[in-house]
Structure formats: C-alpha cells, structure tokens
C-alpha cells in the first residue's frame, strides 16, 4: 500500500518540481510528486526541449541550402515535415522517461493526478489528488511546494482554435507546412517559431505591440536581430496590435493596427505567443493566506508563501519564466526547508536565451537599464566578423556587448547575438555570480581559435584595449 505521509509534497512535476523533489530526496526527506500529465512538465514535453529539436532541423536545412559555400554539392534537397515533428516528439518522450527514471532512482513517490491543497490535519498539510474528477489519493506532508507552472495567455477574440489559430502546442506538431504565418508576439517563444517556419520556407509576419522585437533584450541587440530577420525575408511590425481575426475555410485575415492606420493581412495560420498566466486555479488556494497577484503566487526570497508550510516556485511565482530559474528555485526552496540556509535567488544572474537564427542570449542589466539606475557605464562591443573561428564556421553575423560600472568595474550585463551565444552566455553568468571585475576578465586567457575570444575582446573594448578591430 502506497504511503500517504511525507516530509515534502511537490505539486507539479515540471523542471522546478522534479528538481525540488530530487534535492529533497538527496537531503533524506521523504518526498512525493503529484503530476497531472507528463513528468518534465511543459518545458520538457511541449516547450524548451522539443522546440530545440525542431530548430536543430531548421539549422541543418539552412546549412544544406548553402552547402556549396562549404565545398559540397547537394542536389535538390528536401525535407519531410512529418519526420522533423516525429524526431522532436521522440526527443521529448526520451527525456520524460528519463525524469521518471530519476524519480525511481531517488525513491520519490509519484502520484498521477491533479493535486490541490485540502487543509491541515494533525499538523500536516493535506493534498487531495484526483484524476479525471475521481479521487486518487489523500496525502499529507509537513511541507508542500506548489510548482504548477503556467499556461499560454490568450486575448479576447484571438483565442486559439487548434486549427487556424495555434498555440505553441499546435505550432510544434503541424500536419502540413503552412505557406504563410502571422506570429503575434515577439518574445522568445514567438521569435523561435517565426525563425523555424521562416527557415523552412514559410512567409512569416511578426506583430509586436511594443516598439521593438525581443523587448526584454538590450535595444542594440533587438535592432541587430530585426535587421537579421528582415534580411531573411521575415516581415516585422512593431508598435502594432491585432484587432481582430476573421477565419475562412483555410486561412485567417488579421486586422492589424499600427501608427493609427489599419490593414488586413491574410495568412494560412496564426500563432499566438503573447505571454503566460500562472496556474493558480483549482489548487486549493481558497481559504489560505497564499497571496496571488496578476495570476502569480507571491513569495519571499526563500519561496515561502503567506501560508505556513506552503511554498511556490517556478513559472507560478513570476518572471523570468525560465526552466533553469525554476530548477534553481526548487533547490533553494528545499535547502531552506532542510535548514541549510541557502542564498536567496538573485534574478540579475539568470541568463536568458532565444534559439532563433541568429541566437540571442543575455544576462544582467541592459545598457539602458543600467543608466536608468543612475550608473555611469563603460560599454564594450565585438563583432563576429572580427573573430577567426566565426569566419571559419561561416557565421560572421553577430555581436557581443558588455556593460560595466565605470566606477567599480563591476560587470553589470552582457548581451549577445550570433552563432552559439546560448552556450557562450554562461561564461558571463559565472563572472557575474562570482562578482568578477573587468580586471579579472581582462586577465583571463581565452582559448584560440574559439568564439569565446569575442567575450574577452568585448571586455577589452570597454576599456579601450580591444585587439582585433
């Protein structure tokens, strides 16, 4: 008979939830996870991982189309969309099975169903587990961590229908390649889908309500990205709003308003990518002291809610909505529960990555935000075209930018666009976490020939010592 009493119960088996459970088990806490759908959550099954598999296929397609540049002859290349999608789903399935294996390895009890808080009894937090509306188990724990994640935001009149108007789920498993697409929203999700479909040949229009695409990124990087995307044939409309969608038999006509003018754009499919909302409904928050603001649970720096014994992590607690942030929050939360006195999360040290072509990555303050804080800054830049490895790879489109405090030499932020910057950014992330100064970065030896040399050069440039431009 399955045990029903635990030290820690985690409601939600996504990146934050399953990592929290593993860390709890490592600390000898008797742990359970309640997951209503797939272990690994949205990220692993319908987000971070399978989209990267799709984007890898589009990267290969791009290389095949330019094979002659590298000395190869490829006649009449073609792709099979069904196989591309199948590979993506296989990758997701493999990793979901891997998480299941990790639960077994760490002796974590997994309950298949929807979990909700159900009061307190005998000093323990009760959690009710149900599947398809039917009771599965009543369990109790000293501590309950809510990791229920978030879902795609919808807008009135623009709701996805799964056929002509897609959410991220439909966009990941297309039955056929659309000839034309309208992507509403130019954050990481919207731009990744826009990049994937454009690379495979679709006519893509991106509509963004803000005055620039990738609005959380440094303005210089956003401008560079827009120029690169438009060179690829992508159409981009900023300061624009989709006012209405009119559905036809096999197409959608969107009414888009920008600069006081309105125009109709007809496409085969629309992808809605306008942010997320927290999954705060039906998890038993009623009658508790858990506070919710703008669909996200409010916590302190150690992820405690206003209700004793109840914690929240991941997308449920707000921005930045990133899997790696959720994972780290899970570890911090559990270590606090275990009395290990971890450091509180510093969101300025969390890198963000967008896996479009070219890739975009950043950590810390943008130049504009640093100046808005009243800081005097020193800014360094280095272009991909000045790097030997980038030229050898045939990847000369890109830029590395660093932002330092002019008084202290503190690295405030780093912003990158170009090949493999989603891997390179971790170097700057470590530097920020360790509170490295410009002197230490300038004195670091970077291997040659590598793309990482540009990171060194961008630091040198901030202090008038750049070598290769």
Q: Report the alpha-carbon distance of residue 178 to residue 299 in Å, rounded.
A: 43
- Greatest alpha-carbon span in the chain: 73
In the numeric block, the tokens 């950590």 are attached to 363
Out of 69, 143, 448, 456, the active site residue is 448
In the numeric block, the tokens 């889908």 are attached to 193
Q: Report the alpha-carbon distance of residue 226 to residue 232 in Å, rounded.
A: 10
In the numeric block, the tokens 């006012």 are attached to 243
Give 186's DSSP letter. Answer: -
User: Two tokens at 414?
Assistant: 């780093």
Q: Do 274 and 151 touch, CB atoms closer than 8 A?
A: no
Q: Report the alpha-carbon distance of residue 58 to residue 60 in Å, rounded.
A: 5
In the numeric block, the tokens 């060179």 are attached to 231
Q: Report the alpha-carbon distance of residue 298 to residue 280 in Å, rounded.
A: 11
In the numeric block, the tokens 């501590």 are attached to 143
> 170 phi and psi, to 5 degrees?
-65, -35
Q: Do 33 and 144 touch, CB atoms closer than 8 A?
A: no
Q: Is 143 a catalytic residue?
A: no
Give 410's DSSP letter. Answer: B
DSSP lists the bridge partners of residue 296 as: 293
Helix axes 81-105, 48-65, angle to 10 degrees: 140
How far is the CA of 276 from the CAs of 13, 19, 47, 310, in angstroms?
18, 22, 13, 23
DSSP lists the bridge partners of residue 96 as: none
DSSP lists the bridge partners of residue 17 as: none
Task: From 84, 91, 86, select the one nearest 200 (Cα to Cα).
Answer: 84
Chain center to CA of 53: 15
Q: Report the alpha-carbon distance of residue 174 to residue 166 in Å, rounded.
A: 10
Task: From 348, 384, 353, 385, select the one nearest 366 (Cα to Cα).
Answer: 348
Q: Do 62 and 357 touch, CB atoms closer than 8 A?
A: yes
- Secondary structure class of 292 (helix, strand, coil): strand
User: Two tokens at 113?
Assistant: 């169903």
Q: Report the alpha-carbon distance of residue 388 to residue 177 in Å, rounded.
A: 37
Catalytic machinery residues? 448
């Amino acid at each position: 008979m399955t045990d029903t009493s635990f030290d820690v119960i985690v409601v939600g088996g996504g990146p934050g939830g399953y990592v929290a459970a593993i860390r709890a088990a490592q600390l000898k806490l008797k742990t359970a996870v309640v997951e209503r759908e797939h272990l690994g959550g949205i990220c692993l099954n319908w987000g971070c991982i399978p989209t990267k598999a799709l984007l890898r296929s589009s990267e290969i397609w791009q290389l095949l189309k330019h094979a002659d540049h590298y000395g190869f002859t490829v006649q009449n290349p073609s792709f099979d969309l069904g196989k591309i999608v199948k590979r993506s789903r296989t990758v997701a399935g493999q990793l979901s099975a891997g998480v299941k294996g990790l639960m077994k390895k760490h002796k974590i009890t997994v309950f298949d169903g929807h979990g909700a808080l159900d009061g307190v009894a005998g000093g323990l937090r009760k959690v009710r587990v149900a599947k398809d509306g039917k009771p599965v188990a009543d369990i109790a724990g000293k501590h309950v961590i809510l990791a229920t994640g978030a879902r795609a935001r919808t807008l009135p009149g623009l709701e996805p229908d799964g056929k002509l108007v897609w959410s991220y789920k439909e966009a990941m498993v297309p039955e056929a390649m659309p000839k034309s697409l309208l992507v509403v929203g130019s954050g990481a999700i919207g731009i990744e889908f826009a990049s994937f479909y454009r690379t495979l040949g679709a006519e893509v229009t991106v509509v963004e309500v803000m005055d620039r695409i990738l609005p959380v990124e440094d303005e210089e990087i956003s401008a560079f990205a827009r120029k690169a995307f438009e060179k690829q044939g992508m159409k981009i409309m900023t300061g624009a709003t989709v006012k209405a969608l009119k559905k036809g038999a096999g197409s959608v006509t969107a009414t888009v308003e920008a600069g006081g003018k309105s125009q109709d754009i007809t496409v085969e499919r629309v992808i809605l990518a306008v942010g997320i909302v927290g999954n705060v409904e039906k998890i038993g928050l009623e009658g508790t002291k858990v506070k919710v603001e703008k669909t996200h649970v409010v916590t302190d720096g150690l992820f405690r809610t206003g209700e004793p014994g109840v914690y929240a992590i991941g997308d449920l607690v707000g921005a930045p909505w990133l899997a790696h942030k959720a994972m780290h929050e899970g570890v911090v939360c559990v270590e606090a529960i275990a009395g290990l006195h971890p450091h509180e999360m510093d969101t300025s040290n969390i890198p963000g990555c967008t896996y479009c072509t070219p890739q975009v990555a950043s950590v810390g303050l943008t130049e504009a935000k640093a100046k808005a804080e009243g800081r005097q800054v020193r800014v360094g830049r280095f272009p991909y075209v000045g790097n030997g490895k980038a030229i050898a790879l045939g990847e000369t489109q890109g830029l590395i930018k660093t932002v330092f405090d002019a008084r202290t030499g503190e690295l405030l932020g780093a912003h990158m666009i170009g090949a493999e910057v989603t891997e390179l950014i971790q170097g700057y992330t470590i530097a920020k976490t360790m509170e490295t100064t410009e002197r230490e970065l300038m004195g670091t030896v970077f291997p040659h020939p590598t793309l990482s040399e540009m990171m060194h050069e961008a630091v040198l440039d901030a202090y008038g010592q750049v070598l290769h431009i």
